[in-house]
Amino acid sequence: MIWLAWRQFRAQAIVASAALVAVAMALLGTGPHLVSLFDSSGLATCQSGCGTDAGNFINQVKGSTTELIFYGGVFLVYAVPALIGLFWGAPLVAREFEAGTFRLAWSQSVTRARWIAVKLGLICLAGMATAGLLSLMTAWWASPLYQAAQKAGQNSLSINRLAPPLFGATGVAPIGYAAFGFVLGVTIGVLIRRTLPAMAVTLAIFAVIQIFWPTVVRPHLIPPVRSVQALSTANFDGITTLSGGQFVLSVTSVSGLPGGWFISSQPITAAGHAITTSPACVSKNNFIACLADHGVKLAVRYQPASRYWAFQWLDTGIFLVLGAGLGALCYWRVRRLS
Amino acid sequence: MIWLTWRQFRWQAISGAAILAVLAIVLGATGPGLATRYDQIGLPSCHAMCAALAQQFINELEFGTYGKLFYAGLVVMYLAPGLIGIFWGAPLISREFEHGTHRLAWSQSVTRTRWALGKLGFTWLVSVATVGLLALAITWWASPIDHALNYPQPSPRFDRLAPLVFGARGVAPLGYAAFAFALGVTAGVLIRRTVPAMAVTLVIFAGVQVVMPQLVRPHLIPPVQATAPFNANAADELAINTSGKGPATMTLVGNFSKPGALILSNQTITPSGRVFDGPPARVCLSNSAPPEACSNWLNSLHLRQLISYQPASRFWPLQGAETGIYLVLAAGLGGLCTWQIRRRRA
């Protein structure tokens, strides 16, 4: 059965290996340049107060091909689980149904249960290995950038590996996504029994889950920390004053909480009530200082940077469990079909 | 032939229409609010301080729902042609080969050429029309934001010529859709298996879409060259690189403000014409000298900026050129397909 699974999976395995090798070569070719930029910025030996050095380093990277490669790598690590679900998962069983070859496969001495279990298990492992290798390679390549963000301290230079855009492309989370995407594809293929519709539905469901998970589910996996910060410690990316004295503050980072993932922030009065209007300060030049003078503080709910690995293992674990559940559904359905 | 193509294409057309409808509902529900806000802030009739008003408008939106919808619109416009190539283009002919139904189709009274042209033509038109409708809807929705983004901004990344936005506005998506569809059908005809054809289409289309903005688009129309004196006090970047191995080098990037232009290169050159890269004078490296000393030394060198850029006014010519190239490629691929289908000995 293992040989049969390999024989049917051969072409996809070769394509995946070739792609991994191509990515590895591209990363190896461009990695040393980033490392030399990092070395020459003096960050390697800096112990404290590295903010300006880190800022200079990032400015050199911004706008260059290196930035493009960084975001290309992030995009690739997000795309690979979807592609695995689409091209490895959905056709796995659906192709057999469409071509009628399931009749041959299921009339052999190997039981249906063993057939689906081996196919699912082996290719799932291959998918997880692909995603894991890719995540490892891009993490190695981008390590100067993440080190610079860590040393910068104050505001992590907008390279925040805990916050949604980068989180799912680092660490072990892509392994969980790949496993889930693959088993999702197989399940949809078993239920729909036509390859093309199965691929389309898998893509749609997987994309929707990946879009809503980081914003709706993940922030609440571990209850966020609540903290009251002085307005002067926060970095705002947008201070908007509307008519009627209403204002909106969007916080990107807070010094003293470097690398944190800020889920929500609310300006509060000294007594602790939320406020959204401040007619007294709206017309002033230094809006934030005026608010601070009036005793306004910032109540933030955030996830501290130290919880990065906790979230990584949570995400991976949850998606692996979901994948196992879908795999059991597949298994049961294939055994019951006639 | 048209009825047959429709009958075989029915489900894909219906799902495409359903997705378009959902997107139209989302855009229609949020679009008027955006336009109202744009009017409220006073931008349509502003005479002075327009750039500051525009900046305020952008700041308000960037981290709220409208900002997220804007980015989502960009993503959708870039994904749509690729998905159409993969799900509508690649299976068109390859599915017939895979199931052997081409033998039935080719033994009818309709000639192979007519069969191929009928299937290709009808589905190609529907694909381009779908992406065209989508582009129209999203451009309509985002027009307040696009107008605001084209005022002078401190760090422009989303003006019309920027690589991230250019391919999602105007007529360029139509060219992409035409090319992606033709690429998919060609891959299907040559490879004759659906799933590999889909994979090959995806890889080639993604490759072309990455290479085009970087290597080809900046040179579709010869860029404008400009020179300006380099002012160290107003430079965008003044960095000293010390790697410990050999003398320190300097990286200088001067400020060049041309709202909406696509800056291709901005080099700082010495009077003799070579790129200036240091070594920095002692005043720049010492901690005790005043900060103006380094800038004064740099200004005394009489450096110049050599800038190569595409001005904002070239948006539509560049769109036309790029769409033209993609349409020509699509037509070529369509011809290749038809010729291959006629040649096959079944």
- The model's pLDDT over A182-218, given as tens digits with 9 standing for 90+, comes to 999 999 999 999 999 999 999 999 999 999 999 899 9
Of the partner residues A59, A91, A197, the one whose CB lies closest to the CB of residue B237: A59
Q: Kindly state whether residues B334 and B306 are assigned to the same domain.
A: no
Inspect the interface and report whether the beta carbons of B195 and A91 lie closer than 8 Å: yes
**What are the tens digits of pLDDT across the range A130-150?**
999 999 999 999 998 888 887
Q: Please indicate whether residue A108 or residue B243 has the higher confidence score (pLDDT).
A: A108
| A104 pLDDT tier (thresholds 50, 70, 90) | very high
**What are the tens digits of pLDDT across the range B231-282?**
877 777 777 776 556 677 777 888 887 777 888 888 888 888 788 877 777 7
Q: Are A187 and A93 in contact (CB under 8 A)?
A: no
Whether the CB of B60 is below 8 Å from some CB of chain A: the reply is yes
Nearest to A84 by CA among A210, A194, A171, A170: A210
- Partners of A91 on chain B (C-beta within 8 Å) are 195
Nearest to A209 by CA among A81, A308, A333, A312: A81
Q: Kindly state whether residues B93 and B187 are assigned to the same domain.
A: yes
Q: Kindly state whether residues B14 and B91 are assigned to the same domain.
A: yes
Q: Are A236 and A249 in contact (CB under 8 A)?
A: yes
Mean pLDDT of A61-82: 89
Mean pLDDT of B58-79: 85
Question: Which pairs from B109-116 meet CB under 8 Å and 24+ separation?
Answer: B110/B1, B112/B341, B112/B342, B113/B338, B113/B341, B113/B342, B114/B1, B115/B1, B115/B341, B116/B337, B116/B338, B116/B341, B116/B342
Q: Kindly state whether residues B212 and B302 are assigned to the same domain.
A: no
Q: Looking at residue A288, what DSSP letter applies?
A: H
Q: Kindly state whether residues B191 and B266 are assigned to the same domain.
A: no
**What are the tens digits of pLDDT across the range B21-58?**
999 999 999 999 888 888 888 777 777 778 777 877 88
Inspect the interface and report whether the beta carbons of B195 and A39 lie closer than 8 Å: no
Q: Kindly state whether residues B75 and B123 are assigned to the same domain.
A: yes
Q: Kindly state whether residues B30 and B107 are assigned to the same domain.
A: yes
**What is the reported pLDDT for A259?**
80
Whether the CB of B39 is below 8 Å from some CB of chain A: the reply is no
- Partners of B95 on chain A (C-beta within 8 Å) are 196
Hey, which of A245-259, A322-336, B26-40, B220-234 has the most confident mean pLDDT? Answer: A322-336
Q: How far apart are CA B218 and CA B265, in angstroms?
A: 10
Q: Are A196 and B194 in contact (CB under 8 A)?
A: yes
**What is the reported pLDDT for A243?**
59
Indicate if the pLDDT at residue B150 is higher than 60: yes
**What is the reported pLDDT for A298?**
84
Residue of A nearest to B247 (CA): A40
Indicate if the pLDDT at residue B212 is higher than 80: yes
**What are the tens digits of pLDDT across the range A266-306?**
888 878 787 777 767 766 667 777 777 778 888 888 898 88
Inspect the interface and report whether the beta carbons of B243 and A36 lie closer than 8 Å: yes
**What is the reported pLDDT for B242?**
66
Q: How far apart are CA A184 and CA A200, in angstroms?
A: 12
Mean pLDDT of B188-214: 94
Indicate if the pLDDT at residue B319 is higher than 90: yes
How many domains are there within chain B? 2
**What are the tens digits of pLDDT across the range B72-129?**
999 999 999 999 999 999 999 999 999 899 999 999 999 999 999 999 999 999 999 9
Give SS3 for A13. helix
User: In a mutagenesis test of the B interface, which of A39, A196, A263 is the best target, namely the one with the most B β-carbons within 10 Å?
Assistant: A196
Residue A155 structure tokens: 């505001």
**What are the tens digits of pLDDT across the range B159-192?**
788 888 899 998 999 999 999 999 999 999 999 9
Residue A123 structure tokens: 């290719």
**What is the reported pLDDT for A254?**
76
Mean pLDDT of B139-156: 81
Q: Kindly state whether residues B162 and B290 are assigned to the same domain.
A: no
**What is the reported pLDDT for A154?**
60
Residue A87 structure tokens: 């091209």
Q: How far apart are CA A165 and CA B199, in angstroms?
A: 26
Q: Kindly state whether residues B55 and B192 are assigned to the same domain.
A: yes
Q: Kindly state whether residues B179 and B261 are assigned to the same domain.
A: no
CB-CB neighbours of B32 under 10 Å: 10
Q: Please indicate whether residue B319 or residue B248 has the higher confidence score (pLDDT).
A: B319
**What are the tens digits of pLDDT across the range A93-102?**
999 999 899 9
Q: How far apart are CA B121 and CA B327, in angstroms?
A: 14
Inspect the interface and report whether the beta carbons of A196 and B194 lie closer than 8 Å: yes
**What are the tens digits of pLDDT across the range A150-181?**
777 665 556 888 888 899 999 999 999 999 99
Indicate if the pLDDT at residue B17 is higher than 80: yes
**What is the reported pLDDT for A279?**
66
Of A152-156, B80-84, B325-329, B340-344, the poorest mean pLDDT is in A152-156
* Helix A173-192 vs helix A112-152: crossing angle, to nearest 10: 150
Of the partner residues A40, A95, A200, the one whose CB lies closest to the CB of residue B87: A200
HSE-CB for B73 with a 13 A CA cutoff: 28
Q: Kindly state whether residues B256 and B334 are assigned to the same domain.
A: no
Inspect the interface and report whether the beta carbons of A87 and B198 lie closer than 8 Å: yes
Residue B223 structure tokens: 């860029």
**What are the tens digits of pLDDT across the range A118-134?**
999 999 999 999 999 99
**What is the reported pLDDT for A153?**
65
Mean pLDDT of A218-223: 92
List, in sequence order, every residue forming a beta bridge with B304; answer none if it has no partner.
Answer: B229, B269
Residues of the domain holding B323: 2-222+313-343
Q: Kindly state whether residues B303 and B218 are assigned to the same domain.
A: no
